[in-house]
Chain A
Amino acid sequence: MNITVLMVYLEEKTLGEILKLVEKIPEETCGFMLGTANKNDKNILTFIAVKNVSKKNKTQRYEISPKDYLMAENTASENKMVLLGIYHTHLNWPAIPSETDRLAAFPNLSYIIISLKDHFFSDIKSWKLTEGFTFKEEKLVLNKI
């Protein structure tokens, strides 16, 4: 089945919780977005922050360990949720995927990039790899409750 995701929904409260963990961290941070999906929408219900295990310069690179990845998949299926995507921060760099991001990207996942300017939130965007291996922006909707 070819799933075309049109909208990604994220509650402001969840974003706020993520920002508490990622703002002021002088390295790229990363984690998983879990929730539900149907033909048109992805609904982010929760997130799992994980360690950036990159051996390179962590101000410019992130990497998630395979064990953390499997843990996230397990948590998703145990809670009847779907692994919707990955979030990571860009420090003083726009919320736009870099070539580094593109080369490492997988299809069918949302890549949610949080841009921090001088350690504080400045932008968030969601991206998805197309069949042509380029990134296309998804509509990210911040829900207030």
Chain B
Amino acid sequence: MATVFIPSPLRKFTENVSKIEVDAHTIGELLDTMSKKYPELKKYLFTPEGKTPSFINIFVDDDDIRNLEMENTHISSKNLISIVPAIAGGIDDVTFSKAELARYNRHIIIPEFGLEAQKKLKSARVLVVGSGGLGSPLLLYLAAAGVGTIGIVDFDIVEDSNLHRQVLFGVDEIGLSKVEAAKKRLEGINPYITIEVYNEKLTSGNALELISQYDVIADGTDNFPTRYLVNDACVLSDKINVYASIFQFEGQVSVFNYLNDGVRGPNYRDLYETPPPAGLVPSCAEGGVLGVLPGIIGSLQALEVIKVITGVGEVLSGKLYTFDALEFQSRTFKVGRKESNPLNGANPTITALIDYEQFCNIGNEERQVKEIDADDLSALMEGEEKFQLIDVREQYEFDLVNIGGELIPLGTILDHSKKIQRDKKVIVYCKMGGRSAKAIRDLEDRFGFQNLYNLKGGIIDYLKEYEPDLEAY
């Protein structure tokens, strides 16, 4: 009877026993007997051809059987036979097919870039948050450059009003989810890379998990809550955040939380510790943007992502680049780490993700107005009480779908205040409830109305509940 030592990972197959006694005269016989007794062990002891697999070492006392007589090695009851897993691994060699080498030739022949940088691009994983104005050129260039794995998070669908700047999409994609449309387009440009899509909103609930799967994060979003969320999530999980933003005629780029010689560079909160008061800085949807500007700024963002990955050139860390399209002026400001930074300053107060909508005070920026919901409106319509229904949308929206309200577009409401009755409830609505709230505030401030009620969620919510057959827009 020889004693056999079973290594930890294989004990699952030997009823958790670390040493077993086996009656055998040679190693071959011993392995056979063990396989019969513990069938699950067999695939670790024999290759399909019946040989000892390369990932297993078998020792007779201190000698590897490869230095003895392999399976024919004689054993006696005095011997301790040890089964030892060969522990090994490492990283994959990045290789290129002929077609890939041809595709990336103009990169590879740049002396400072070369095959090494191209390999780094291929093994990199980049998460792009937002596939809109900035995301379009960013994704197009990252895909074309050969970034091996690109993740895209966006919950939006392609709309006609996107197309003046979001060059990733065309008219055929209107109505499709942005991530799916983007994936198709990018795979058309570069079939040698992998596109992973997340058709969802980046939230405090999913951000850390998503970000953890990537090396570099590129923030191309257009709102403050997501910008702080991306920044904080990157700092908390030690990821580099390549940031860009645009507004009307101006753009900004920087690389946040960059790791250089073991030291992290500044992040968004070193630049702006807290967001501006809500409503002060409008989004592109509200404030507008010159279509070519995200093309310029998103391309610069792609450039920084590529520099971060390859280590080629000087990364825009500790600096904020700004571009003024009207004056054609660019300036680069220095940004340093601040002691007051709540994430990684002298006394960090933020150690987990927070509620960023609340942090950015979204929804609290204006005075609340009285409101009713779709159910209340339906009850009013069914009931006896007299009321007036005012639609403050535009004529073209009214022509698409309406629920019988009197049309007075927001821009003309103050001129038509006489049409609004004072002796009964007046329900004001628009598409989603924002414009009608503004109309009510203006009418209250200017003419002292007290009988105005906003339809919460607008016509969209009402149609969803009560007129599902009418097409929403």
Contact = CB atoms under 8 A, between A and B. Distances in A.
Nearest to A84: B8
Contact of A62 (B59, B85, B88): B88
Contacts of B215: 94
Interface string A74-111: 00110000110010101111100111110011111101
B8 A100 contact: no
Contact of A104 (B10, B82, B89, B92): B89
A118 B84 contact: no
B93 interface: yes
Nearest to B237: A123
Nearest to A97: B89
Contact of B91 (A60, A106, A119): A60
Interface string B1-39: 000010111111000101000000000000000000000
Given A69-B85, A94-B125, A60 B90 contact: yes
B9 A69 contact: no
A123 B238 contact: yes
Interface residue tally on B, bucketed by range: 35 or more
A104 B8 contact: no
Given A73-B8, A94-B215, A118 B261 contact: yes
B187 to A, nearest CB: 22
B8 A120 contact: no
B8 A61 contact: no
A82 B8 contact: yes
B262 A120 contact: yes
B64 interface: yes
B447 interface: no
B7 A73 contact: yes
Contact of B259 (A61, A98, A118): A118
A132 interface: no
**Residue among A91, A94, A100, A121 with the highest chain B CB neighbour number at 10 A:** A94
A138 B27 CA distance: 37
B120 interface: yes
Given A66-B59, A66-B84, A93-B123, A98 B90 contact: yes
B258 to A, nearest CB: 10
B8 A109 contact: yes
Interface residues of A, number: 48
A111 B9 CA distance: 12
B89 A117 contact: no
Given A82-B8, A108-B8, A109-B8, A92 B120 contact: yes
A123 B213 CA distance: 11
**Residue among B8, B16, B93 with the highest chain A CB neighbour number at 10 A:** B8
B55 interface: yes
**Mostly helix, strand, loop or mixed at chain B's interface?**
mixed
A66 B86 contact: yes
A93 B261 contact: no
A120 B92 CA distance: 20
A82 B88 CA distance: 20
A134 to B, nearest CB: 15
A109 B9 contact: yes
B18 A77 contact: yes
B204 interface: no
Contacts of A125: 212
Contacts of A54: 88, 90
Nearest to B263: A120
Contacts of A100: 89-92
B9 A62 contact: no
Contacts of B346: none
B8 A83 contact: yes
Interface string B206-225: 00000010010000000000
Nearest to A63: B88
Contacts of A61: 88-90
Given A117-B259, A118-B259, A108 B90 contact: no
B82 A1 contact: no
A18 interface: no
Interface string A15-56: 000000001000010100000000000000000000000101
Nearest to B120: A92
Contacts of B59: 66, 70
3 smallest CB-CB distances across A and B, nearest first, come from A61-B90, A101-B89, A120-B262
8 contacts: A62-B89, A64-B88, A83-B8, A86-B87, A94-B215, A111-B89, A118-B261, A125-B212
Given A60-B90, A61-B90, A104-B55, 15 more contacts: A2-B12, A62-B88, A62-B90, A63-B88, A70-B84, A73-B5, A99-B92, A106-B9, A106-B10, A107-B9, A107-B12, A108-B9, A108-B12, A120-B259, A120-B262
